[in-house]
Amino acid sequence: MFADIELEKEFKERLERNYDELKWLYAELYHNDGQAFDYFLTMLHEFYHSRPEELREQDRVREEHPDWYKGNDMLGMLLYTRCFGETLNGVREKLDYLKESGVNYVHLMPLFESPEGRSDGGYAVSDFRKIQPELGSMEDLAALASDCRKRGMSLCLDFVMNHTSEEHEWAVRARNGEKEFQDRYFFFDNWNIPNEFEKTVPQVFPQTAPGNFTWCEAVQKVVMTTFYPYQWDLNYANPTVFNDMCSNMLYLCNIGADVFRLDAVPYIWKRLGTNCRNLPEVHTLVRILRMATEIVCPGTLLLGEVVMEPSKVVPYFGSRGKPECQMLYNVTTMASTWHTVATKDVRLLKHQLGQVFSLPKEYIFLNYLRCHDDIGWGLDFPFLAQFGVREVEHKRFLNHYFLGDFPGSDSRGELYNDDPRLGDARLCGTTASLCGIEAAEYEGNEEKLDKAIRLDIMLHAFLLSQSGIPVIYSGDEIGQRNDYSYHEDPLKWSDSRYLHRGKFPWEEAKRRKMKGSREGRIFRAIQRLVKLREKHSVFESAADVWILECWNDHVLGIGRYYKGEKLLALFNFSEEEQTAWINEVEDYTDLLSRKKCPAKGVSVPGYGFFWLCTRFR
């Protein structure tokens, strides 16, 4: 009884801290629908009381240490359950490998029930509370989450907010003519209003899924389908949709998820006459979700998937007084990094990083070289224009370079959603194959292989030099190459993103302990860098960070300072040795070789890097 009283007190205290704003925002969004709001509060209460005590205790610890995820000890890995371990239990059996890799943040790609062949890689969810049968069960997910907690690992899950599968119960009932469920989506009696939307709403996949609407034959109506015809957009102007989707998220919180990747979150509010992206109501919804987690499960984080330019991304952090997502993807740095690999010119990357470095230090980005998705060339073309760069021609150059069609390029990639008219194709491929490892091994050219491995390792060192949480795509730690077998699978062959979604090569992973092997060189190098990052406080997200001018357009310089420790990180994006024309007065030591290295006119080998560190007493 005493415990129940204490729990109720804790819930009420958390609710009271958020109540006024929560009620105001909900009433404003849903036109003072008191019944829907009361249902929402009842739902929060029920999920709080049904939350396992082990998770409630973790919430309390994290409330005491709200910066628990901001340290230099964080390393993420993003993986597909089926590719990595076949099943959730298979992933559990491989947790020791992840621990060996230094990983303490595990992002599992979509797990939930979705129709085979019409799932967009699991992003067309037919049931948010069921695991895809061949991957396991919800009990298996809970067991995996528990094992992760015991090893000090956080678990991240994708939460697909914008749409459901056409096979979701709501969609099935809508197709059966139930108006209540049609109202959970966007149904129109004819094409008049959809055609008006099309005047202002861009197409996401103009080649593979043109348009934003699909004719539903069963009810003789038009339904909004922003991404693919089998993904029906949810109508968040209906409070029942928001309440039920929030309920699904909190259910997964109580299973043991620590982080939710809010998929396609900028798209979740629609208004005629706009582009239906980043509307103010989107931020209201994310803010309410944030408050819901602070009440029920304050140890849980929201990760916003906002694949847009920085001016659109940063608002999803919210403000200090009204925070939204705790973390966001640093997609612009990722794209600018690969641009720099192709051009060997760091000026755009310096410009882009300078914008990131100027943001408040509490803003935490997830940094990555590759992920499950394609690389889109959303670069700052107005900045590049001053150097005579034209957008269409430059995108064409970048794609030809990474296809291996450009003279001197050993990259091996494929295009996704190619639009020859706009030159707006996206790029697919693993880090290793884009760096040239695949081509070098195919040719048996050791000199090329050495160069490609150096580039691969240098890029990971750059990744680990940034503030925030570095995330490695599963397989990158051993230099996994492209998997072309998807061309033979009729369910996959139209989606070139499966090129880098291949099955994890466990036989190759065994060679990570072999001296001189490609797998061993990359694995040990990343391990060493991760350990150095964890050891030195200068890599903390709270550090001061700035662009270090090297007076050489092939060399990127980053300076970091924190708690008396100063780091100069130098990265040569050229194949040839280059000089970083810096002139720092302190005595520096190269963290990798442990040798003294004056920070004056530093010669950096081709595709090489230095972490030069000094400490002020």
**Residues noted as catalytic:** 263, 305
* Tokens standing for residue 229: 């015809």
* Cα–Cα distance, 128 to 567 (Å, whole number): 45
Of 103, 91, 96, 98, the C-alpha closest to 141 is: 91
CA distance 126 to 481: 32
Strands 259-263 and 154-160: parallel
Residues 6+ apart with CB under 8 A from 436: 409, 410, 411, 412, 448, 451, 452, 455
Give the whole-angstrom CA distance, residue 347 versus residue 582.
Answer: 16
| Residues 377/395, Cβ–Cβ less than 8 Å | yes
**Which residues does 492 contact at the CB level (< 8 Å), separation at least 6?**
486, 498
Neighbour count for residue 9 (Cβ, 10 Å): 10
Does the CA dihedral 170-174-180-184 come out positive or negative? positive
Alpha helices in 215-299 (DSSP H): 239-255, 280-296
Phi/psi class of residue 121: alpha, beta or left (left: φ > 0; alpha: ψ in -120 to 50)? Answer: left
Whether the CB-CB separation of 338 and 102 falls below 8 Å is answered with no
DSSP summary character for residue 323: B
List the beta bridge partners of residue 544: 561
309 three-state secondary structure: coil
Q: What contacts 525, CB < 8 A, 6 or more positions away?
A: 457, 460
